[in-house]
Structure 1
């Protein structure tokens, strides 16, 4: 997990808060659930104990993953974005050359990607194809159905 995770200050703070909650609220609750289940008898045939241990393992994995993301996070300041080319946090309007359909996406880090809000990850195939392109350039994106071509129509914040 050595790649850089680009995030806004707001997302960084949300992740820090989530990690704090996982460590201070959820972790003690998981330990308490294990202790309660342990008191109910033989651990070999105690499904409640097994479930509590499994939940604790998943919680610890989530904490570790979130710590990794925070450790490699790079906060992007929207006021320093260069809109002469497609970059993280820019909004780019593109036209699919084949279908003539036009859509606007915001290029974001993986943690913030949400296609329903037209936010695509910079590490997605379309995101990778668009990064660095200027208005008027054609981005070629490898998709399972073949190569898709998009014309960059506009770049904004």
Structure 2
């Protein structure tokens, strides 16, 4: 039997998943059940677009509940306090300088399940995340990309 993938999460990430699961089970299930009930009351289900849409929404929601339950079951919440504050690790927020584009960037390193580049959360499994982990303030890391190499100088490391 194949062992399920461990999902590395920060405590904030785990809380967000648990909150989403609770909302889906308690609030969204009731809302969708009400939509289905109202659509049924309209009569013939074979030509009822509202009923079909509500059933599709219900299927999507149940799939997301199942996905969240699997992630939470196989989660490994990292103890951020166990890491050296002066070294980049999962849970660190890093301010660094991108030499190629002459700009300062700030990202938080999280497990792949939590990553969302638009929210400033990068995966520890991404090329940049891998390169940053273990670095200290003042060090420059190099990341290989299809266009060549990019260099980033660590300016600040914090825990949030």
* TM-score of the pair, normalised by structure 1: 0.77
* Alpha-carbon shift at residue 55 of structure 1 (Å): 0.9
Q: Quick one: distance in 2 between partners of 1:117 and 1:41?
A: 45
CA RMSD of aligned residues (A): 2.7
The gaps in structure 2 that reach 5 residues or longer are: none
Q: Which moved more, 1:50-59 or 1:14-23?
A: 14-23
* Alpha-carbon shift at residue 62 of structure 1 (Å): 1.7
**1:45-76, CA deviations, whole angstroms, 9 ceiling, x for partnerless residues?**
11111111111011112212221221232223
Q: Quick one: distance in 1 between partners of 2:158 and 2:54?
A: 49
CA contact (8 A) 2:115 2:122 kept: yes
* Alpha-carbon shift at residue 110 of structure 1 (Å): 4.1
CA contact (8 A) 2:36 2:51 kept: yes
Kindly tell me: are residues 92 and 58 of structure 1, through their superposed partners in 2, closer, same or farther at Cα, counting changes over 3 Å?
A: same
Q: Quick one: distance in 1 between partners of 2:24 and 2:81?
A: 32
CA contact (8 A) 2:80 2:90 kept: no
* TM-score of the pair, normalised by structure 2: 0.76
CA contact (8 A) 1:88 1:109 kept: yes
Q: Quick one: distance in 1 between partners of 2:146 and 2:43?
A: 53
How many residue pairs align between the two structures?
156
